[in-house]
Amino acid sequence: MHEQKIQVLQGTVSKLLRRGAVTNLKKALGKIHPADIAHLFRYFELHEQKTLLTLITDLDRAADVISELEPDSWPKLAELLDPEFLISVVHEMADDDSAVFIRSLPEELAEQILAALHDDQSEDVEHLLGYDEDTAGGIMSTDVFSLDQDLTVKEAIEALQDSEDYEMVFYVYVTDDHNHLVGVLSLRQLLTVPPSTHLCDIMSTNVMRVRTDMDQEVVADLVAKYNILAIPVVDDHGKLMGLITVDDVIDVMRDEATEDILRMAGTSEEELLLGYKSFQIARLRLPWLLTTLVGGVVTGTLMWYFKATLEQVIMLISFIPVITGMGGNVGGQTSTILVRGFATGRIDFTNLRQVFFKELRVGLIMGVVCGLVIAAVAMVWHQNYYLGLVVGIAMVTAITVAACMGVVVTAFFKKVGIDPAIASSPFVQTVNDITGISIYFLTATLFLGYLV
């Protein structure tokens, strides 16, 4: 239903653009949700996006649209926009959104926008830009609502009623005189106690918090694990610096998942920024493809090494693709499970031994089933019971080893500090091709006397 709605909107906006119906376009854009406008932008050229954006009369709405756009589209679109308009739009953004947006722009344009912002906002944005973009400090909002611990409940409620400048108030964070985070309250608590009660008497001192230098992926895991709507950010001394809300966490999860999937495919998120630049994209994909190429050469060398076995039993060649293909698929499955397990925290080095033996058993079960099937096929096809035995044993061994290799290789990359996602398809499949061929021909060589 949503896609149909987008298609109708896209057709309507396209017609109005072609006709130059500015008034109707302004009315239409004023009624469409900013997230849907951002979705519509992908169907239009950059100059058309610029026209649509400048027709949004409400600057706060235009800021929301830009925030909803894919970050890789920001630099090119920003360079087309009038600097004064761009500065006005950035002024309406939340500080954390402004920081992320400005960080994506060319240095000269970024400095121009920072210089034009009001002193208070510019100071907050520059403060956020000082943190690494992948840390809690880099994604937090500085607009965090907090109250002094010595206030009464009545004073706290009055302060809440005047808190229009804050984007969201999920919890009431309590601080001391030096802005150290000392407690937290739910809004429900404030409404169920006598008005004269002091916050320090009813607050919970067990506050889930993160430090400014904590990796954003760890922050996302904490929010997901404890089902909280927001999490406060503190500095090394425990001072309240900002707040990370659940909408920021969703963006982090999406970005991290995208990064993992791209790395598992042997490329990186940089490819999304390159558009249709074929040579640069090929340069990103080639390294792991060359790894696969080297693996293929090694596999070919092994086949040449066992050429005497092949020459005497040429029917062995029939099952080479099956052995290598099944091993590669099983290894890829195991590696993907490990990558996801490490990313979500379900798997770590404390339970890796259990995971290894679980995958060993699973591999053995799948190997026995597939081995029996391929053994039966070999016996019927080539009328040779020993060939069926060779292929069956090789299949069982290759699949079991592939399942174990998926665990070992992925865990190795994690241990040495390399993102394990890159160990997935290209590396694991290459390793399993080599081990699969080796197992197959070694088994065939052992039974050679019965095959000829």
Same structural domain, 230 and 113: no
Q: Tell me how far apart the alpha carbons of residues 73 and 91 are, in angstroms, rounded to a whole number.
A: 19
In terms of domains, do 303 and 348 share one?
A: yes
234 and 125, same structural domain?
no
Report helix angle 95-104 to 119-129, nearest 10.
60
Q: Does any domain span residue 25?
A: yes
Closest by CA position to 152, among listed 194, 209, 214: 194
Average pLDDT over residues 125-147: 85
401-414 confidence digits (pLDDT tens): 988 988 888 888 88
| 169: three-class secondary structure by DSSP | coil
pLDDT at 274: 47
Tell me what pLDDT residue 271 has: 46
Structure tokens at 330: 């099983």
What percent of the chain lies above the pLDDT cut of 70?
86
Provide the CATH number for the domain around residue 346.
1.10.357.20
Does residue 384 sit in the same domain as residue 432?
yes
Q: Is the pLDDT of residue 423 over 60?
A: no
pLDDT tens digits for range 309-319: 766 777 778 78
Q: Locate all alpha helices (DSSP H) within 181-312, ordered by sequence.
A: 187-191, 199-202, 216-226, 246-264, 270-273, 278-305, 307-312
Residue (of 20, 34, 102, 95) closest to 64 by Cα position: 34
Q: 82, 102, 130: which is the final residue of a domain?
A: 130
Q: Picking from 60-74, 226-240, 244-258, 412-426, which range would have the lowest pLDDT averaged per residue?
A: 412-426
What pLDDT is recorded for position 373?
93
pLDDT higher than 80, residue 111: yes
pLDDT above 90: percentage of residues in the chain: 14
**Residue-averaged pLDDT of the chain:** 82
Q: 179: domain range? A: 146-246
Whether 222 has a pLDDT exceeding 90, the answer reads no
Do 412 and 441 reside in the same domain of the chain? Answer: yes
User: Average pLDDT for residues 30-44, to the nearest whole number?
Assistant: 86
Q: What is the pLDDT of residue 273?
A: 47
Mean pLDDT, range 189-211, rounded to an integer = 90
The reply to whether 125 and 151 lie within a common domain is no
| pLDDT range class, residue 452, cuts 50, 70, 90 | low
pLDDT beyond 90 at 104: no
- What local confidence, expressed as pLDDT, does residue 1 receive? 43
Residue 206 belongs to domain with CATH number: 3.10.580.10
Q: What is the pLDDT of residue 247?
A: 80
Last residue of a domain, one of 194, 212, 246: 246
80-103 pLDDT, tens digit per residue, is 888 888 888 888 888 888 888 888
In the prediction, which pLDDT does 44 show? 86
